Amino acid sequence: MGCSRSKEIQGGCGEVTGMESIYTALSNRPVRDGIRRTRENLSKNVKENLKKYPFLKKYARELRDVKLKVINDLDFWIDRSIKKLEENGARVFYARDSESARRIVAEIVGSGKTVVKAKSVVSEEIGLRDHLEDMGNEVWETDLGELIVQVNNEKPMHMIVPALHLSEDEVIRILERVGIKGKNAEECTDKVRLFLREKFLKADFGISGCNAFSAESGSIFLIENEGNIRLSTSVPEKYIAIVGVEKIVPDDEHAIKSIMVQSAYFGTFPPSYINVIRNRQPGELCVVFLDNGRKSTDEILKEQLLCVRCGRCHLECPIFQLTGNVWGGETYGGPMGMGWSAITSGISSIENEVFLSCLCGKCRIVCPMEINIPRIILHLRKLAVRQTAK
Amino acid sequence: MDLNHLRNEIEEKRKMVREDMDRYIDIFVRSLKASSSEVEVTTDPEVVEKYRRDIQEDGGNSIVTFADSASVSPAILFFTGLEQEISTAMADHHISVILAEDIMPDVISAYRLALLKSIERGHGVIFGSSSASKTADIEGKLVWGAHGPKRFRVVVVR
Amino acid sequence: MFRPGKLIELLESNMARTGNPLGLKRSLLSEWLRGLPDLKGRDDTILFTGLMYQLTPYIELSTKYLQKIENSSLEKLFYFYVKLSKYVNPYRFLTLRGSDMERYSESLRRIFLILKKSGIDFTYREDLDGYSGILLYDLGDDSAFSSHAQEISDLLENADVKKIITVDPHTTYALKVLYPEYSGLKVEVASYLEILADVIDKGRMENLNEVVIHDSCYYARYLDIIEHPRKILENMGYRVVEPENSREMTSCCGGPIESISPVFSREIAESRIEELSSAGKKAVTMCPICMGNFERCGFSTHDISDLIFGGMNGSEPSQE
C-alpha cells in the first residue's frame, strides 16, 4: 500500500501566513464571550420560531428550489430585473467586479456629500465606505453595531451583530470619540439616535444592500429592527441599492419568503421592519447589480449562492465560536465565509483558513438552505492542494 | 401584474377571515403582544380622533396612521407611500389603526393587499412594522427606540 | 497552525512506507489480537478495524508534542522532521506508555468479543485490514486518497469479501460512502453498532448507571447512526442522558483538526467537555478520535464497547 505521488509539495498549500490573527482572536476572551451570549439568545429564539411557525421550514425548502432555478439561469434573471427596474424609472448599473462597483457608486455620489449607509455586507465586500471617504465624502454607518465598529476602525465580528465582541464599557469609550456621551447601553442608543438623526436629515445619499430582490416587480426587500434602513432609504433624496445578483428571486412572494426565512433563522422574528422599494418618487433610485465572481462559480461552489445570510452557521461553528469573523477572508468569515471568500476574492484568500475547519458538519444541519458547507470547504481544500501540486 | 386576479385572491382571504373573525383577532392581538407592542380592540371608529387629541395635548413627536393590511401571525402591519414612511420612521410614538377586515391570514396575502393598494395609489414603497424600533447591539442588551418609534401601539377597529 | 501541505507530505511518505499515516510498524498495530480466541469464522464477512483505534494513542502522543511548538518559531522543527520521516521511523524517539495503548487495544478486543457473543459470524484477517486513507481525504489530497482507496478495495474484492464490519465512524464513512464513489467498492459495509442494534436483546441487565452520550459528528451527521447506540445502551440497561447539543446537533470534540492545530483542537474539546460534564459524571464515546482528544484534554470517557461488554458480563467497567 503506497501513494502514487512521490513529489514533495513545496511549502505546503501556500505559506501559512496571515494566520497569526486567529491566535490573537483566540486569546481575546470577549470575542468568544460575545459569541456565546449571542448564540445562547438567538439559538433559543430560532428553535421557538420554527416551532411556533411551522410554515417557515416549508418556505425554506421551497426557497431553496426557487433560488437554485435562478442561480442556474442568472443571466436571464438579471436581464429581466434590469428591464423591470428601468420600466419603473430607476437608474440601473451592472458591476462585474468590486472595483467597477466602487467606481459606479463613486460617480453617482461625487464628492463633498453626506452619505448614510444601512449595514450591508456587500458594501463591505466592495470596500465602499473607505472609497467614498477617500473621494471626500462624509459617510456614516447607521446601524448601531456597525457605527461602533466604524468608529473603532475594525471589521464587523459577525454579519448581523457586528459589535458583539465589545463590552458596554468599551462601546461607551468608543462612542465618546465622536462626541456621543452615554453612561450605558440605553443612553448610548438614545444619543446615537439623536446624533444620526441629524445626519439622516442632511444626507444627500442613502445606500443599502438588499435582502431579496423581486424580478417580477423590480422591488428591493429589506428587513431590520432598528429603523435605520427605513430612514436611510427614504429620507435622503437619492437612494442607491447594491444588489448581489444572487439576491434575485422570481417574484414578490418568494422575496417575502426569503426575508421571513432569513430573519427567523437569524433569531429575531418577525423583523420589526420590512421595507419594500419599487421606485423612489420624489427622488431617485439607483440600483447596482454586483457580479464579482458570482456568475463564474464551479458547480460545487455555486451552492453557496443559495445563502440567505442569516448568520446561523457562524454561531454554531466551533471555530467561529473561538475566533469570530477573524477566521475567513477580508469580508466573509466563518463557515459560509469560506465559500463566499472564494467566490468574491478567489481561493488564495482562504487557502490556509479552509484547513482549520473540523468538517464537523453542524453548519450544514443548521442552514435553512441546507447548503452542504463542509462539502464546499473540502472542495476548496482539494483545489488548494491541487494548486500547490502543480 | 394582473390586478383583478389579485383582487379576487384577496376577497377569498377576506372571506376566510370574516368567518372566524374572533379567533383571528385573538391570535393577532397575542402575536403583537409577543413583540411587546401595545394593542387594543375597539368597535368605536371615533377612537382614532381621541388618539389624535391625546397626541396634540401630549406635544410629543407622535403619529397616527391607518395600516393598509396586516398579517395575523406573525402580526405585521403594512403601509404604503414614501411620505408616510418617513413620518412614521421619525416618530417617537407610532399609533396604527387597522380595520379588522384588512387582517389577512398570512404574511404573503397581507403584503399582496398592501401591494394592490400601493399600485392603485401610485405609491412606490411598501413598508411593514411589527413592533417598536429595537436594538441589542451593545452587549446584547435590548433597548427600545434605536432609530424609529420607541412605542408602537395598534388599534384594531372591528 | 501547521502547514497543511507539510502534513500531507508526511502522511503520503508514511503511507508509502508502511501503509499507515504515522509510519508505525505493523506489529504495533496488531497487539490487540493478543489473547483473542479463534479469529476465523465465516470468511466472506470480515471485521475491518481501519487501524483507527490502534493509531489513536500515537496520534495523541504526537499531538502533545506538536501543541508545544504550534504558532512559535519551533514549528520549523516539525517541518524538519517531515523531511527526515522518509528515512527514519519517528516513533523511535517517542515512547508510548503500555497502559495508554492498552486502553484502545482492550476496546477493540471487546468489540470482537461482543460481536462473537452476539452470534455474529465473521473472520478477522490481518492481511485484509488496513488504514482507510480518510485523513488524506479530509486534507483534500484527493489523488492520494483515490489510489489508496483503490488498493484497499482491490484487496477486499479479490478476497471475495461480501460484508465488512467497521468499528469507528471515520472508517465507516470512508468505506461506506467514499469507496463506492472513488474506487467502485461494491461490498456491504456496516458499523458494528448498526449490527448490534438489531441483535442485542432487551433487558440483560437492570439499573446500571446513567451515561452521558457524546455522538460522533460522522455517525450523527454524515451516516445517520443516531438511534443505534442509544438502543444498544438502553437494552443493556443504561439510562442514556442527552447533553446540551446531542444527536444531529452534537458538538465536535475537536479531534479532526488535532494535527492542523492542536491548540484550536484543545479549545474545542474543552467547550464540549464542559457540556458533557455538566450533564453527568460518566460520558460515553463511540469514536477513538473523540475519546483520544478528550483524554488529551484531561477528560476520561468510556468507549461504548466497554459499556456494552460490561453490561453483557454483568459488571461495570472499572473507572480509569
Looking up residue A219, the CATH number of its domain turns out to be 3.40.50.10420
The last residue of one of the domains, among C196, C225, C255, is C196
Instruction: Flag whether pLDDT at C49 surpasses 80.
Output: yes
Q: Is the domain of A206 the same as that of A305? A: no
Looking up residue C215, the CATH number of its domain turns out to be 3.40.50
Over the stretch A258-315, which tens digit does the pLDDT of each residue have? 999 999 999 999 999 999 999 998 899 999 999 999 999 999 999 999 999 999 999 9
Chain A residues within an 8 Å CB radius of B91 = none
Long-range (24+ apart) CB contacts under 8 A made by C20-25 are C20/C51, C20/C55, C20/C130, C20/C131, C21/C55, C21/C131, C21/C135, C21/C136, C22/C55, C22/C58, C22/C59, C22/C62, C22/C90, C22/C91, C23/C85, C23/C89, C23/C90, C23/C91, C24/C55, C24/C58, C24/C89, C24/C91, C25/C89
Report yes or no: B156 at the A interface, CB cutoff 8 Å: no
> Which residue reads 468568544 in cell numbers?
A32
Mean of pLDDT values over B9-17: 95
**C48 is a domain residue:** yes
Confidence of residue A2 (pLDDT cuts 50, 70, 90): very low
**A382 is a domain residue:** yes
Mean of pLDDT values over C57-85: 86
C-alpha cell at C52: 483507527
How many domains does chain C contain in total?
A: 2
Work out whether strand A273-277 and strand A219-224 pair parallel, antiparallel, or are unpaired.
antiparallel
Looking up residue B31, the CATH number of its domain turns out to be 3.40.50.10420
**C230 is a domain residue:** yes
**A347 is a domain residue:** yes
Q: Is the domain of A156 the same as that of A116? A: yes
Q: Is the domain of C30 the same as that of C93? A: yes
**Interchain CB distance below 8 Å, B73 and A53:** yes
Q: Is the domain of C165 the same as that of C239? A: no
Task: Report how far residue A387's alpha carbon sits from residue C80's, in angstroms, rounded to the nearest whole number.
Answer: 23
Mean of pLDDT values over C145-164: 97
Report yes or no: B101 at the A interface, CB cutoff 8 Å: no
Instruction: Flag whether pLDDT at C204 surpasses 80.
Output: no
Segments forming the whole domain that contains residue C122: 4-196
Mean of pLDDT values over A89-112: 98
Segments forming the whole domain that contains residue B136: 3-157
Q: Which residue has the higher pLDDT, C317 or C244?
A: C244
Distance from the C255 Cα atom to the nearest Cα atom in chain A, whole angstroms: 8
Q: Is the domain of C96 the same as that of C43? A: yes
Over the stretch A335-361, which tens digit does the pLDDT of each residue have? 999 999 999 999 999 999 999 999 999
**Interchain CB distance below 8 Å, B130 and A271:** yes
Task: Report how far residue A119's alpha carbon sits from residue A209's, in angstroms, rounded to the nearest whole number.
Answer: 7
Q: Is the domain of C217 the same as that of C141? A: no
Report yes or no: C292 at the A interface, CB cutoff 8 Å: no
3-state secondary structure C112-176: HHHHHHCCCCCECCHHHCCCCCHHHHHCCCHHHHHHHHHHHHHHHHHCCCCEEEECCHHHHHHHH
At least 3 CB pairs under 8 A between chains B and C: no
Mean of pLDDT values over B129-134: 98
CB of C57 closer than 8 Å to CB of C103: yes
Q: Is the domain of A133 the same as that of A34? A: no
Question: What ipTM is given for this predicted complex?
Answer: 0.97
Q: Is the domain of C49 the same as that of C94? A: yes
**Interchain CB distance below 8 Å, A41 and B136:** yes
pLDDT at A15: 54
At least 3 CB pairs under 8 A between chains B and A: yes
Segments forming the whole domain that contains residue A316: 20-52+297-389
pLDDT at C94: 66
**A38 is a domain residue:** yes
Q: Is the domain of C170 the same as that of C226? A: no
How many domains does chain B contain in total?
A: 1
**A152 is a domain residue:** yes
**C214 is a domain residue:** yes
Q: Among the listed ranges A69-73, A168-172, B44-48, C186-190, which one has the minimum average pLDDT value?
A: B44-48
pLDDT at A4: 35
Instruction: Flag whether pLDDT at A328 surpasses 60.
Output: yes
Q: Is the domain of A235 the same as that of A279? A: yes
| Percent of chain A topping pLDDT 70 | 95
Report yes or no: B134 at the A interface, CB cutoff 8 Å: yes
Which chains are adjacent to chain A, needing at least 3 Cβ pairs under 8 Å?
B, C
| Percent of chain A topping pLDDT 90 | 92
pLDDT at B52: 75
pLDDT at A281: 87
Mean of pLDDT values over C186-210: 85
Instruction: Flag whether pLDDT at C248 surpasses 80.
Output: yes
> Which residue reads 446537533 in cell numbers?
C249
Q: Which residue has the higher pLDDT, A15 or B133?
A: B133
Q: Is the domain of C138 the same as that of C212? A: no
Looking up residue A366, the CATH number of its domain turns out to be 1.10.1060
Confidence of residue C206 (pLDDT cuts 50, 70, 90): low
CB of C310 closer than 8 Å to CB of C303: no
Instruction: Flag whether pLDDT at C125 surpasses 90.
Output: yes
The last residue of one of the domains, among C149, C174, C196, is C196
Instruction: Flag whether pLDDT at C320 surpasses 50.
Output: no
| Percent of chain B topping pLDDT 70 | 98
**C320 is a domain residue:** no
Q: Is the domain of C53 the same as that of C192? A: yes
Mean of pLDDT values over A358-371: 98
Q: What is the phi/psi pair of residue C143, to 5°?
A: -70, -40
pLDDT at C100: 82
Q: Is the domain of A279 the same as that of A301? A: no
How far is residue C308 from each of residues C115, C240, C311, measured CA to CA in Å?
A: 10, 13, 5
CB of B125 closer than 8 Å to CB of B85: yes
- Return the DSSP state at B101: G
CB of C12 closer than 8 Å to CB of A12: no
Q: Is the domain of C60 the same as that of C175? A: yes
Q: Is the domain of A169 the same as that of A151? A: yes
Q: Among the listed ranges A12-16, C34-38, C93-97, which one has the minimum average pLDDT value?
A: A12-16
How many domains does chain A contain in total?
A: 2
What is chain C's mean pLDDT, rounded? 91
Helix (H, G, I), strand (E, B) or coil at A208: strand
Report yes or no: A27 at the C interface, CB cutoff 8 Å: no
Q: Is the domain of C147 the same as that of C235? A: no
Smallest Cβ distance to B137: which of A144, A276, A282? A144
Which chains are adjacent to chain C, needing at least 3 Cβ pairs under 8 Å?
A
**C319 is a domain residue:** no
Whose CA is closest to C66, among C251, C264, C253?
A: C264
**A350 is a domain residue:** yes
Q: Is the domain of C190 the same as that of C235? A: no
Q: Is the domain of A278 the same as that of A303? A: no
Q: Is the domain of A148 the same as that of A255? A: yes
What is chain B's mean pLDDT, rounded? 93
Over the stretch A157-198, which tens digit does the pLDDT of each residue have? 998 999 999 999 999 999 999 999 999 999 999 999 999 999
pLDDT at C203: 59
**A4 is a domain residue:** no
Confidence of residue C26 (pLDDT cuts 50, 70, 90): confident
